[in-house]
Homo-oligomer: A and B are copies of this chain.
Amino acid sequence: MEWTFKSDQPIYAQLVEQIRLAIVSGDFVPGARLSSVRDMATEAGVNPNTLQRALQELERLGLVYSQRTAGRFVTEDTALIAQEKKAIASARAEAFLQAMQKLGFDLEEIITLLRENKEEEHGDPDM
């Protein structure tokens, strides 16, 4: 997993987002054990406390749960994950829509553009 941070948002919030994304996109599978706080923190290059805060937030969201001595685990509540996935997708769609409209494209033009891009992909299926 790659960890990159922007400077205009708290690191812990970005950690929440990135882990949330990793969970809903299946990079972290339901029920899987996460690395220890210390290890993940080292890997991400942040202080363990900062990562701890992010994980607590994710726990509040129900996406992970912790077991005292065994470690932290991704939730097995696939319905919740699906719901989060929908929420993230919807947020992205909205942001994309607004950006494209700012550029002067209407919905049908955007859809056309997407279809064109999709077709280009066919010529390069491994990407």
Contact = CB atoms under 8 A, between A and B. Distances in A.
A114 B111 contact: yes
Nearest to A6: B6
Contact of A102 (B7, B25, B121): B25
Contacts of A107: 114-115, 118
Number of chain copies forming the complex: 4
25 contacts: A4-B7, A4-B8, A5-B6, A7-B7, A85-B104, A89-B100, A89-B103, A89-B105, A89-B113, A90-B113, A90-B116, A92-B96, A92-B100, A93-B96, A93-B110, A93-B113, A93-B114, A93-B117, A96-B114, A97-B114, A97-B117, A107-B114, A107-B115, A107-B118, A110-B114
